[in-house]
Amino acid sequence: MENIREAFGKFLDYQLRLSNLYHAMNLLHWDMSTIMPPKDAERRSEVVGFMSQEAFRIETDKDFIELTDSLFEVRDGLSDQEKAMVEKQKKEQDFKKKIPEAEYLEYSILVSRGEKIWEDARNADDYEAFRPTLEKIVQFNRKIADYIGWEETRYDALLDLYEPGMKVSDIDKVFSEVRDGLVSILDRIRAKGVVIDDSFLHDKFDKRLQEEYNRDLAKRLGFDFEAGVMAVSAHPFTTNFGNKDVRITTRYDENDLMMSVYSTIHEAGHAIYEQNIPDELAKTNIGGGVSMGIHESQSRFYENIIGRSRGFIGSELPRLAERFPNLSDVSPDDFHKAVNKVMPSLIRIEADELTYSLHIIIRYEIEKAFINGEVDFNELPKLWSDKYREYLGIEPSNFREGVLQDVHWAGGMIGYFPSYALGNLYGAQMLYKGIMRDLPDYDEIVASGDLTRVTSWLKDNIHTHGGTYKPSVLIGKVTGEALSAEYFLRYIEDKYSRLYGI
Amino acid sequence: MENIREAFGKFLDYQLRLSNLYHAMNLLHWDMSTIMPPKDAERRSEVVGFMSQEAFRIETDKDFIELTDSLFEVRDGLSDQEKAMVEKQKKEQDFKKKIPEAEYLEYSILVSRGEKIWEDARNADDYEAFRPTLEKIVQFNRKIADYIGWEETRYDALLDLYEPGMKVSDIDKVFSEVRDGLVSILDRIRAKGVVIDDSFLHDKFDKRLQEEYNRDLAKRLGFDFEAGVMAVSAHPFTTNFGNKDVRITTRYDENDLMMSVYSTIHEAGHAIYEQNIPDELAKTNIGGGVSMGIHESQSRFYENIIGRSRGFIGSELPRLAERFPNLSDVSPDDFHKAVNKVMPSLIRIEADELTYSLHIIIRYEIEKAFINGEVDFNELPKLWSDKYREYLGIEPSNFREGVLQDVHWAGGMIGYFPSYALGNLYGAQMLYKGIMRDLPDYDEIVASGDLTRVTSWLKDNIHTHGGTYKPSVLIGKVTGEALSAEYFLRYIEDKYSRLYGI
């Protein structure tokens, strides 16, 4: 091949073109969810479709593929960052090569219709209306996994799409420890019979004041409004166009103060990650978070480990009470208890911090089973109920609160769910084996309300690498250990044993 | 050539691709002016530049050019709409062909720097800092005009870029009549010595209430919020991505109620035009207003002919007074006088309806002169002052209020200014020779506050054609006459003789 630097320069040109297109595409999407008037929906989809095709044209450009292949051959002569870019590009190109185009098109149509079918089925609480589509999507995912290829088990191929390098053999062990640990803590809480009062969180809270507080909070957490936007949408999300324009949304409910607050903290966690990606990676394919799991580790770290800690509550409550006098008689301890109230529930997105991972593990176990061909889809709701009863002690009385509650499978996202629980594990491991090691006064920092040093730690240890290292490598570098369930369980045990006196 | 229908189908495919790109590009721009966080400015420009290049690549595609050429040959076998699309495309392709690429690139860089140089010069009130750039831009425009080609006079080539088909020989006559007519009315007003009191418009008006009123007003004028967005920006503008997503902006000043109101009415006039373009034209190169002048005819019709009429004021004042009790003692007649107060001023964008066209005519006369090579640029400020003294009776004491006030020349927009005054002429001609002919109860409609029938008239006679007919053809179709100064002068005479009792 020609000079490696020259070749890599050309490779970066392709990356820049793709980054330009994705910048525009993400803005088209953002605008769709926040501002676009309804009559433009159809036309907008057409424009987004066109832009995707343009990106596809570049991604499948013969010269680009050859260039990537030859750089892949000599990747050991590249820096860590450059190597990661080439490997990621190669992986995506191989993915496209391995899956017959006609089949992938058929699958794309299936999942794009799937979301609508799922939505209708959920609204009608009619599992049977969704079942045939779900079966087809699962069958397709089995085929896709086989096209991609796998060594130990088929599900590994899908997992790798969201959490590169992660395998069932890694997860099974930690998830079963987490599951057993959480179930046992939950049992002790239930046995204790304490009921936490959180009614004061469901009083009336002016939306405008909520927004004011949330904007101030996001800023104090480290969200840079000079490189970001905060808006309102029906479902909160984070999107970004590079590292200089990162956008979060929140929604406000007059009768649920902490819904918007924890949504803001969560999305700010994602956003701060993206804002801290260094400029030299920003216009490349590693110019974002490394994986869904690591991304969730950041959002959940801010939301739960910081946001639901006694220190943070102690520092925030006075600010809240300033705006909402109906909170002025609430003690920090009571507030802290209220935002950590454990209550096994059926809906994942409303779950408390303790039971949340159980919701995920249930989905993981079910996904693994149906990808292994072990599930009769007529029996899926029963399987779902059995697991909820076993782990959480409750079971759904309808499909809407059961197997039809999440959009993921309808959209073809199988292998995605584990990321949420992995985020919890990564976060706790970073806390004990990284942050507390390097910042011995961590508790005081959180209680002080000025999180600058914590955010700096995350920036220097996690954010600054963008997508350079696979999750397992990154976790190893930062904590000196492989992924473990130990720290998350220790964190949960420590927190809830105090809260519930168990 | 192959089958003409098939060829035209391919032509439409190219139009669609361009329409997709412009959809994204206009959104990138909109977002830049309304939402984008400041740190993204540089990156965003890069993305916009990339998208422009993509559009340029399509526009200069050899196959597309050949296709357009062959369709141009057989254009008489096409419908009016199709023919207009092909002619417009052909004109743009010829433009690109006629101007040597290297020179055009040099020019693009010159004007993009020009705006910054102008801004700095204006802020420093330093004409000399801008003069060399202005001279270069003018020289380039002379060359461009020669490349394009012209018959009667060089300025025609530039005029044609903004007002297709319009010539100096058409404009000279009407503009000189307008100028003399306006100057004579202005003299009579001055001689009368009446000073209108408009101080109540500069009281305090809550911005949130202003916004509420403006949104309601836009809706009542016919702006469709299901296919449009209204936001805030430093400089009000209208943009659109097709006919289903048309966006206007306004700015609010607590001490100037009518600034936001007339800005909203003006931009709504542009927007309603775009929203009423039929779907079958929306994704083509004639899927927008036909020219700058016709566009201004719509915005100015709403802003002035309707918005500053006694009937409209009579119907709106109670709504305003409901929100702003400080207006409750103002009579409709006094309010009507206040929003029509004549006051010769130095700044075009702050000018009243009567003197506005004189500001434009001054610019037109100067542009014509420098494109003819008749201006020593060292003497430009003097020329400017001479004309202001002659027509308006005042002259600037600095450059900022004189020759440095507009961005147009710095951006290379020479030949654009006439559109504003043409808009006034078109509008008045439509009023007397179209609307009042077809809606004999026009005055009652306006006074009723329900403008549906007026908007329908504009839709059926102007908007529905998109860019199908050149301005002169459209005006001929609608009013049965060629462009004339008569109607605008009659309208102004009629209005101001009553208002000032002259």
Burial of B34 (0-12, 13-18, 19+ CB in 10 A): middle
**Chain B CB contacts of A50 below 8 Å:** 17, 20
CB-CB neighbors (< 8 A) of B17 in chain A: 50
How many CB atoms are closer than 10 A to CB B326? 13
**Which of B22, B34, B43, B44 to mutate to test binding with chain A, by most A CBs within 10 Å of its CB?**
B43
Q: Which of B98, B123, B157 is the last residue of a domain?
A: B98
**Chain B interface disruption, residue of A27, A36, A224, most B CBs within 10 A:** A27
Which run of H or E residues covers position A444? helix A442-448
Asked if B268 and B341 sit in the same domain, the reply is yes
Task: Report the C-alpha gap between B307 and B417 in whole angstroms.
Answer: 23
Give a yes or no: residue A104 inside a domain.
Answer: yes
CA dihedral over A289, A291, A295, A301, signed as positive or negative: negative
Residues of each annotated binding site of A:
266, 270, 296
pLDDT at residue A351, as a whole number: 96
Contact A242 B38 (CB under 8 A): no
Q: Which DSSP helix (H) or strand (E) runs through B230? A: strand B228-232
**Mean pLDDT, residues A159-182 taken together:** 97
Model confidence at A340, in pLDDT bands (50, 70, 90)? very high
Q: What is the pLDDT of residues A278-313, one digit of tens each?
A: 999 999 999 999 999 999 999 999 999 999 999 999
> Do B40 and B188 fall into the same domain?
no
Please give, rounded to a whole number of angstroms, the shortest distance from the CA of B281 to a CA of chain A. Answer: 13
Q: Is the pLDDT of residue B447 over 70?
A: yes
Which pLDDT tens digit goes with each residue over B360-409? 999 999 999 999 999 999 999 999 999 999 999 999 999 999 999 999 99
Question: Chain A contact for B227, CB < 8 A?
Answer: yes
How open is the CA angle A261-A324-A34, to the nearest 5 degrees? 40
Query: Looking at beta carbons, which residues of chain A come within 8 Å of B36?
Result: 229, 245
Q: Does A54 touch chain B (CB under 8 A)?
A: yes
- Alpha-carbon distance of A501 to A189, in angstroms, equals 9
Cβ distance A47 to B228 less than 8 Å, yes or no, reads no
Q: Is residue B418 part of a domain?
A: yes
Residue B115 forms part of a structural domain: no
Structure token digits, residue B246: 């048309």
> Which among B82, B87, B163, B267 is annotated as catalytic?
B267
**A379 Cβ under 8 Å from any chain B Cβ:** no
Residues tagged in the binding site annotation of B for Zn(2+): 266, 270, 296
According to DSSP, the β-strands at A246-250 and A228-232 are parallel
Helix (H, G, I), strand (E, B) or coil at A86: helix
Write the residue in B43, B229, B283 that is nearest to A35 by C-beta.
B229
- B contacts of A282 (beta carbons < 8 Å): 43
Q: How confident is the model at residue A112 (pLDDT cuts 50, 70, 90)?
A: confident
CB B441 within 8 A of CB B312: no
Residues in Cβ contact with A364 at an 8 Å cutoff, skipping those fewer than 6 apart: A171, A175, A417, A418, A421
Pair (B65, B163) in one structural domain? no
Q: Which domain holds residue A49?
A: 4-151
pLDDT of residue A2: 64
Interface test with chain A among B34, B40, B42, B284, by most A beta carbons within 10 Å: B40
Structure tokens at A404: 């039809």
> Same structural domain for residues B473 and B353?
yes
Instruction: Assign B217 to helix, strand or coil.
Output: helix
Which residues 10-49 on chain A approach chain B with CB closer than 8 angstroms? 17, 20, 23-24, 27-28, 31, 35-40, 42-44, 46-47
Helix (H) or strand (E) holding A91: helix A80-98
B158 and B89 in a common domain: no
Average pLDDT over residues B105-134: 95
**CA angle A263–A470–A180, rounded 5-degree value:** 60
Round to whole Å and give the CA distance between A449 and B453: 60
Residue A144 to residues A141, A148, B214, Cα–Cα distance (Å): 5, 6, 54
Nearest to B24 among A24, A36, A244 (CB): A24
For chains A and B, CB pairs below 8 A equal 96
Cβ pair B242:A40 closer than 8 A: yes
pLDDT of residue B285: 97
**Are residues B337 and B407 both part of a single domain?**
yes
**Interface check B51 vs A, CB under 8 A:** yes
Taking the CA of residue B228 and the nearest CA in chain A, the distance in Å comes to 6
Q: Do B20 and B136 belong together in one domain?
A: no
- What CA–CA distances, in Å, run from A405 to A121, A135, A344, A469, B393? 10, 17, 16, 34, 74
Cα(A235)–Cα(A259) distance, integer angstroms: 12
Residues B98-105: contacts with CB under 8 Å, at least 24 apart: B98/B147, B98/B148, B98/B149, B99/B144, B99/B147, B99/B148, B100/B147, B103/B140, B103/B143
- Give the number of other CB atoms < 10 A from CB of residue A73: 12
- ipTM of this predicted structure: 0.91
Choose among B317, B312, B322: nearest CA to B332: B317
When pLDDT is averaged across residues B133-144 and rounded to a whole number, the result is: 97
Q: What number is the average pLDDT over the span A183-209?
A: 96
Determine the angle formed by the axes of helices B353-371 and B486-500, rounding to 10 degrees: 140
Is the Cα dihedral A324, A326, A329, A331 positive or negative?
negative
- Contact between B40 and A241 using a beta-carbon 8 Å cutoff: yes
A245 CB within 8 Å of a chain B CB: yes
Does residue A210 lie in a domain region?
no
Bridge-partner residues for B247, per DSSP?
A: B229, B239
Residue pLDDT, tens place only, B228-267: 999 999 899 999 999 999 999 999 999 999 999 999 999 9
* φ, ψ dihedrals at B338, nearest 5°: -60, -40
Q: Which residue has the tokens 């790109």?
A: B21
**A238-240 and B228-232: which strand pairing?**
unpaired
Rounded to whole angstroms, the Cα distance separating A434 from A427 reads 10
Mean pLDDT of chain B: 96
Chain B residues close to A20, C-beta within 8 Å: 46-47, 50-51
Closest CA to B457 of B315, B305, B313: B305
Domains: count for chain B = 2
| Pairwise CB contact (< 8 Å): A229 & B39 | no
Question: Per this entry, what is the length of chain A?
Answer: 502
- Contact list in A for residue B13 (CB cut-off 8 A) is none
Contacts of A271 in chain B (CB under 8 A): none
| pLDDT for B112 | 87
Q: Cβ A47–B244 below 8 Å, yes or no? A: no
- Give the closest of B38, B43, B229 to A226, CB-based: B38
Which of the four pLDDT bands, split at 50, 70 and 90, describes residue B1?
A: low
Which residues of A carry out catalysis? Answer: 267
CA-CA distance, A118 to A106, in Å (whole number)? Answer: 18
Q: CATH number of the domain that B500 lies in?
A: 1.10.1370.30
Phi, psi of A37 (to 5 degrees): -70, 150
- Interface touch B31/A27, C-beta < 8 Å: yes
DSSP-H helix ranges across A124-167: 127-148, 155-162
Contact call for A39 and B244, based on CB within 8 A: yes
Of A28, A224, A244, the CB nearest to B24: A28
pLDDT (average), residues A406-423? 97
User: Which of A24, A245, A282 is closest, CB to CB, to B36?
Assistant: A245
Distance from CA of B278 to the nearest CA of A (A): 14
d(CA B281, CA B82): 9
Whether B240 and B145 map to the same domain: the answer is: yes
Distance from CA of A53 to the nearest CA of B (A): 11
Residue A1: its pLDDT value, please?
57
Q: Name every chain A residue with its beta carbon within 8 A of the beta carbon of B39.
A: 224, 226-227, 244-245
Q: B316-319 — which CB contacts under 8 Å span 24+ positions? A: B316/B217, B316/B449, B319/B213, B319/B216, B319/B217
Instruction: Among B48, B72, B98, give the residue marking a domain's end.
Output: B98
B28 chain-A contacts, CB cut-off 8 A: 24, 27
CA-based Rg of chain A, rounded to a whole angstrom? 23
| CA pair distance B488, B293, nearest whole angstrom | 14
**B54-82 average pLDDT score:** 96
Name the one residue in this structure whose structure tokens are 């919701």: A359
Asked if residue B489 belongs to a domain, the reply is: yes
In a domain, A60, yes or no: yes
Tell me which chain B residues have a C-beta less than 8 angstroms from the C-beta of A233. Answer: none
Domain for residue B485, yes or no? yes
Distance of alpha carbon B466 from alpha carbon A263, whole angstroms: 45
Cβ–Cβ gap A37/B227 under 8 Å: yes
Of B27, B36, B229, the CB nearest to A28: B27
Residue B380's pLDDT is what? 98
d(CA B297, CA A203): 54
Q: Tell me if residue A418 falls in helix, strand or coil.
A: helix
Q: What is the biggest distance separating any 2 CA atoms in chain A, rounded to whole angstroms?
A: 72
Closest chain B C-alpha to A90 CA, distance in angstroms:
25
User: Looking at the structure, do residues B70 and B186 belong to the same domain, yes or no?
Assistant: no
What would the mean pLDDT of B316-340 be, rounded to a whole number?
97
Going by C-alpha positions, the residue among B363, B486, B368 that lies closest to residue B432 is B486
Q: Which two tokens stand for residue A433?
A: 């084996």
Residue with tokens 């168990």: A502
pLDDT digits (tens, 9 = 90+) for B266-276: 999 999 999 99
* Chain B: closest CA distance from residue A57 (Å): 13
The residue assigned the tokens 């454990």 is: A342
Chain A stretch 263-302, residues whose beta carbon is closer than 8 A to a beta carbon of chain B: 282-283
Q: What is the pLDDT of residue A300?
A: 98
- Are both B141 and B85 inside the same structural domain? no
* Position B195 pLDDT exceeds 90: yes
Beta-carbon contacts of B10 under 8 Å, excluding residues fewer than 6 positions away, are B67
Is residue A392, in this structure, part of any structural domain at all?
no
Number of other residues whose CB lies within 10 A of the CB of residue B187: 12
Please, what's the b/e burial string for A213-239 (b: 16 or more CB within 10 A of its CB; e: otherwise)?
bbeebbebbbbbeebbbbeebeebbbb
B356 shares a domain with B286 = yes
Q: How far is A42 from chain B (nearest CA, A)?
A: 9
Residue B242 to residue B287: CA distance in whole angstroms: 7
Give the strands of the sheet with B238-240, arranged side by side.
Answer: B228-232, B246-250, B238-240
- Note whether B208 and B333 are same-domain residues: yes
Contacting residues for A155 by C-beta, under 8 A, at least 6 apart: A145, A168, A367, A368, A371, A372, A415
Q: Which of A497, A479, A472, A459 has its CA nearest to residue A170?
A: A472
Which residues of A belong to the annotated binding site for Zn(2+)?
266, 270, 296
Which chain B positions have a beta carbon within 8 Å of A54's beta carbon?
54
Q: What percent of chain A has pLDDT over 90?
A: 98
Q: A488: Cβ–Cβ under 8 A, 6 or more apart, which residues?
A: A178, A357, A424, A425, A427, A428, A429
Show which of B98, B115, B148 is a domain's final residue. Answer: B98
Q: How far A282 CA lies from chain B's nearest CA (Å)?
A: 10
Average pLDDT over residues B31-44: 94
The two beta strands, B238-240 and B246-250, are antiparallel
The one-letter code for the residue type at A162 is Y
Tell me which chain A residue has its CA closest to the CA of residue B45: A20
CATH of the domain at A17: 1.20.58
Q: What is the pLDDT of residue A181?
A: 98
CA distance B380 to B95: 30
Residue A226: closest C-alpha in chain B: B37
